[in-house]
Amino acid sequence: MEVWEGYATDPEIRFKGSSGGAVTAIALFCLQHEQMAGVLHVGANLESPLQNVPFFSKNKEELLARTGSRYSPAAPCEKLKWIEQADSPCVFIGKPCDVAALRKSQSINQTLNDKIGLAVSIFCAGTPTTKGTYDLLATLGVKPQGVSEIRYRGYGWPGKVTVKVKGSDADVHQLSYSECWGKILSNFGQFRCLICPDTTGEFADIACGDPWHRKVEQSQPGYSLVLVRTEKGREILHRAMRLGYVTLAPAHISTLPRSQPALLNGRRTLFGQLLAMHLMRLPTPSFNGFSLIENWHQLKFWNRFRPVLAMLWHTISEKLYRPQKKYLSGTITVNEDFASPAVIKTISREET
Ligand SMILES: Cc1cc2nc3c(=O)[nH]c(=O)nc-3n(C[C@H](O)[C@H](O)[C@H](O)COP(=O)(O)OP(=O)(O)OC[C@H]3O[C@@H](n4cnc5c(N)ncnc54)[C@H](O)[C@@H]3O)c2cc1C
């Protein structure tokens, strides 16, 4: 409905946020002026810092502790019951798939539906697996069990990966965002993310991402691209602007594709990928309302066949055409504590 560009007016939120801190600033506005009870979102587990867990933040300090993108598996919906049990409506923050799951839960759970005050999505090109973080740590020469804190972004835009080692405040390892995402984490994508139709939070009230159309100098003050997707989102965002929580200027609708060419290309190739899965008689999701054929036609004629061929190759090389052994076996091994890879527990399929 509307496209805006800007940042959290509070300099601390802007600095610590992944992009311009807009997500955190809007959530804080909801706590302080919209009588919302709390914010369900994810952050690092304090005892096991490589693992992400849900939190129910109730003030600025708690929100600030969970700013920044976590480029590893995270599941805020695990604790939707916290929202159900709250005294008044709440804010939900998650990736586009988290918000899609939230909307499905809302549709079958009236109590939850009544308690969703605002759903905010971050843009998402795909969640790297936990192995991606292990690879990142190996590049930095840090053992997973030695990590006391890991930040993937933020503290400037786009910010650096920062890893602190247990036992010494001075032992800090850093890597630039482009090296971390471009050379390491993007190699650890998950298959389900490869065929995701919604990378910009189409089910959310408000969605935020990076305005990459700007030339970014390392660690400059951040900027957010803010998309209004529902009337509720528009009302809340405008009130947050009026009270000075976010400083935003209207942006042309073309700012979104100019900022996210990779996400747009992903949408354009999706029909070809699904077609290949269908040809291989794989279970293929059906995505309605995403204009997949129209998007596919925006590719040059010969380019339309590349995703088909790439997916056929992927299907064959990964042997996706037959049931995966790991889903059929009787047990599954779970690394319960990401900080100590030695702690492995085997549980039965029924328990899962
Ligand atoms: C895996 C991943 C891929 C991304 N890909 C893109 C992309 O392609 N293009 C783009 O523009 N932006 C992408 N982002 C989003 C971007 O990094 C920023 O999160 C977004 O712009 C919001 O910035 P902010 O400063 O407003 O958020 P902040 O104020 O820093 O708040 C971030 C919020 O996001 C929540 N959060 C962080 N990590 C996760 C997670 N893994 N799952 C659920 N919630 C989380 C936090 O709890 C926090 O509330 C990605 C983020 C992730 C986690």
The pLDDT value given to residue 217: 79
Q: How far is CA 199 from the centre of its chain?
A: 9
Is the beta carbon of 154 within 6 A of some atom in ligand 1? yes
The pLDDT value given to residue 264: 96
Residue with tokens 């009236």: 110
Provide the terminal-to-terminal Cα distance of the chain, rounded to the nearest Å: 41
The pLDDT value given to residue 341: 47
Is the beta carbon of 67 within 6 A of some atom in ligand 1? yes
Nearest residue (CA) to ligand 1, atom 50: 124
Give the mean pLDDT per block of 10 residues along the chain (352 residues).
98 97 98 98 95 98 97 97 97 98 97 98 96 95 94 93 90 92 92 95 98 86 97 98 98 97 96 94 90 96 96 90 61 52 54 55
Q: Which atom of ligand 1 is nearest to the CA of 68?
A: 30
H or E stretch covering 194: helix 191-194
Is the beta carbon of 20 within 6 A of some atom in ligand 1? yes
The pLDDT value given to residue 339: 47
CA 291 – CA 202 distance, rounded (Å): 13
Is the beta carbon of 24 within 6 A of some atom in ligand 1? yes
Q: Please give the C-alpha separations between residue 22 and each of 17, 26, 212, 307, in angstroms, as whole numbers.
A: 8, 6, 15, 34
Q: Which atom of ligand 1 is nearest to the CA of 42?
A: 47
CA 61 – CA 82 distance, rounded (Å): 19
The pLDDT value given to residue 333: 55
H or E stretch covering 172: strand 172-175
- Ligand 1 pocket: which of 56, 82, 92, 122 to mutate (most atoms <8 Å of CB)? 122
Q: Are 227 and 236 in contact (CB under 8 A)?
A: no
Q: Which atom of ligand 1 is nearest to the CA of 14?
A: 25
- Written as one string, the DSSP assignment of 30-71 is HHHHS----EEEEEE-SSSTTSEEEEEE-SHHHHHHT-S---
H or E stretch covering 106: helix 96-108
Q: What is the pTM of this model?
A: 0.92
Q: Please give the C-alpha separations between residue 217 and each of 155, 157, 176, 214, 225, in angstroms, as whole numbers.
A: 13, 8, 12, 9, 17
CB neighbour class for 139 (10 Å; exposed up to 12, middle 13-18, buried from 19): middle
CA 211 – CA 289 distance, rounded (Å): 25
Residue with tokens 């939070």: 201
